[in-house]
Amino acid sequence: MIGADHHASFRSLLERHRRFVLTTHVNPDGDAIGSEMGLARFLRSRGAEVRIVNQDPTPETLRFLEFEDLPVEVYDERAHVDAFAQAERLILLDNSAPDRFGRLQPPLAALAAKTFCIDHHPTRGTPWGENIIDDASCATAEIIYELVTRTGWRPDRPAAEALYVGISTDTGVFRFNSTTPSCPARSPRTAISHCHAPGLPSM
């Protein structure tokens, strides 16, 4: 579970910046897309400018998580050079290893100082400016859930769905050994009860 220093680091990020580009690893899975969507929803609720730019398109099975007004953009160097330059912070989700970003690796390496990484895979010595890395969390979506709800925000239905998919993906719907006690006991149930979304799949 993440600690007070992580929450402080996230609060500081929110207070200092309002223009973000979110991205994730190659071949994005449910935790990657779910974390991006959940965090994007939260940031937009605070009036921030958010774009999501990934190396690969969202798999067909996860397209339902995308918001109509926030399409996932597939990285194109010429099209995105300005977006990356103008972003106050680039936020990496569900991957901290520099070699798992594909074509995004060079621009991210060049902008590492203003890159903020949130991940649950253990990576030592990352080049990123700031890191919230917690390998005790079962999914990046769990970390996102902890961070955004600590600010007092209640995920609405789309955000809760996205975070639920992220946590479900990485825990095999709470069956894998990676499932931490805090994971099924707190995150998804609480997310669901917070947003009153009875249609979500049950555990």
For residue 139, the minimal CB distance to Mn ion (Å) is 5
165 to 184: interface string for Mn ion, x by CB under 5 A:
-----x--------------
Cβ closest to Mn ion, residue 139 vs residue 191:
139
Q: Using CB under 5 A, which of the segments 23-31, 63-71, 172-180, 185-193 binds Mn ion? A: 23-31
Amino acid at 88: E
For residue 165, the minimal CB distance to Mn ion (Å) is 11
* Pairing mode, strands 115-119 and 130-133: parallel
Region 26-65 residues binding Mn ion, contact defined as CB under 5 A: 31
Return the number of other C-beta atoms located less than 10 Å from residue 201's C-beta: 11
Cβ closest to Mn ion, residue 84 vs residue 164:
164
Cβ closest to Mn ion, residue 104 vs residue 163:
163
Q: Is 119 in the site for Mn ion (CB under 5 A)?
A: no
How far is Cα 135 from Cα 121, in angstroms, rounded to an integer? Answer: 5
Q: Is 130 in the site for Mn ion (CB under 5 A)?
A: no
Q: Among 18, 117, 48, which residue's Cα sits nearest to residue 108?
A: 117
Give the CB-nearest residue to Mn ion. Answer: 31
How far is Cα 29 from Cα 39, in angstroms, rounded to an integer? Answer: 16
For residue 171, the minimal CB distance to Mn ion (Å) is 10
Q: Is 134 in the site for Mn ion (CB under 5 A)?
A: no
For residue 120, the minimal CB distance to Mn ion (Å) is 6
Cβ closest to Mn ion, residue 106 vs residue 122:
122
> Between the CA of residue 110 and those of 79, 83, 86, what are the distances in Å?
17, 14, 14
Region 83-102 residues binding Mn ion, contact defined as CB under 5 A: 94
Long-range CB contacts for residues 170-179, cutoff 8 Å, separation at least 24: 170/29, 170/30, 170/31, 170/120, 170/138, 170/139, 170/140, 170/141, 171/138, 171/139, 173/201, 173/203, 174/203, 176/138, 178/138, 178/139, 179/138
Instruction: Return residues touching Mn ion (CB under 5 A).
Output: 31, 94, 139-140, 170
